[in-house]
């Protein structure tokens, strides 16, 4: 039998009598099936890869419209303060058991790196931190930085006098500059980068002067002398 498809392709279908043998309850049964019905053929079109449930047709992934957020727009500072004891560097304690005054000196020969502090409902990316830092510099009128490096405090010294029968302590800290204000960020879709959505957030940040700025304090407190008690035998 010859059949003509929609595309004009001649297809020959051979209609054959088919004999099927199968086992039934241990015996055999013969079944003959003849068909002389019309045969239809259908040809499928080309199909490319499917990525995440999307048919991309020619095999190339199409670019998607994605959101780009947390972009720095501006920072408006409205208040600042100095934090004397922002990051502790080192301390030293001396118990003066003598009856005379004694000198206690803190001499720093090693210091660890120290980071800054950022607070608020925002994602503080490196670019956002840099943007905020620049605005705080304008606010305070001198150079700032986000961290203190290793051994930056080496060479610093501080001396106090400890009274008799007292415990003296010297502690040194990096000063910080704390700024309060309003951070503005924006987001956009890659398909329409000029259409921006802005967000304002209250934040505060504590950073450092570029120049070395150390605050030190000393303190004294009494200590109790332990007196032995002897019992007569």
Task: Compute the average pLDDT of residues 16-26.
Answer: 41
Contact 185, 122 (CB under 8 A): yes
Q: Centre a 10 Å sphere on the Cβ of residue 215 and count the other Cβ atoms it contains.
A: 17
Dump pLDDT digits (tens) for 212-231. 999 999 999 998 765 555 55
Q: Which domains does the chain have, with CATH numbers?
A: 2-43 (no CATH), 67-222 (2.170.15)
Dump pLDDT digits (tens) for 41-58. 444 444 444 433 444 455
The full 3-state SS of 175-208, as one line of letters, equals EEEEEEEEEEEEEEECCEEEEEEEEEEEEEEEEE
pLDDT number for residue 191: 87
Global pTM value = 0.67
Look at residue 27 and give its three-state secondary structure.
Answer: strand
**What are the strands, taking DSSP E only, across 56-191?**
67-96, 102-107, 117-120, 144-145, 157-162, 166-189
Q: What percent of the chain is helix, strand and coil (3-state, nearest 5)?
A: 5, 55, 40
Dump pLDDT digits (tens) for 159-186. 999 999 999 999 999 999 999 999 999 9
- Among 3-17, 66-80, 97-111, 176-190, the minimum mean pLDDT is found in 3-17
Look at residue 43 and give its three-state secondary structure.
Answer: coil
Q: How confident is the model at residue 66 (pLDDT cuts 50, 70, 90)?
A: confident
Instruction: Please give the Cα distance from 93 to 56 (Å, whole number).
Output: 72
Dump pLDDT digits (tens) for 92-151. 999 999 999 999 999 999 999 999 999 999 999 999 999 999 999 999 999 999 999 999
**Number of H-type helices and E-type strands within the chain:** 1, 14
């Amino acid at each position: 039998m010859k059949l003509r498809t929609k595309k004009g392709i001649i297809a020959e279908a051979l209609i054959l009598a088919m004999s099927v043998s199968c086992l039934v309850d241990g015996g055999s049964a013969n079944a003959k099936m003849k068909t002389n019905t019309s045969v239809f053929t259908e040809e499928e079109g080309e199909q490319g890869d499917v990525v995440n449930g999307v048919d991309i047709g020619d095999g190339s992934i199409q670019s998607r419209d994605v959101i780009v957020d947390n972009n720095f727009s501006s920072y408006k500072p409205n208040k600042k303060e100095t934090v004397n004891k922002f990051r502790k560097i080192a301390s030293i304690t001396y118990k003066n058991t003598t009856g005379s005054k004694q000198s206690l000196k803190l001499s720093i020969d090693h210091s660890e790196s120290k980071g800054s502090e950022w607070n608020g409902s925002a994602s503080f990316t490196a670019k956002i931190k840099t943007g905020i830092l620049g605005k705080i510099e304008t606010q305070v009128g001198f150079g700032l930085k986000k961290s203190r490096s290793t051994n930056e405090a080496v060479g610093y010294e501080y001396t106090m006098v400890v009274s008799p029968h007292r415990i003296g302590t010297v502690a040194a800290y990096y000063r910080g500059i704390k700024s309060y204000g309003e951070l503005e960020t924006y987001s956009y879709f890659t398909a329409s980068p000029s259409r921006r959505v802005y967000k304002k957030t209250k934040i505060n940040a504590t950073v450092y002067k570029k120049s070395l700025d150390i605050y030190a304090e000393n303190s004294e407190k009494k200590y109790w002398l332990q007196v032995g008690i002897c019992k007569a035998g």
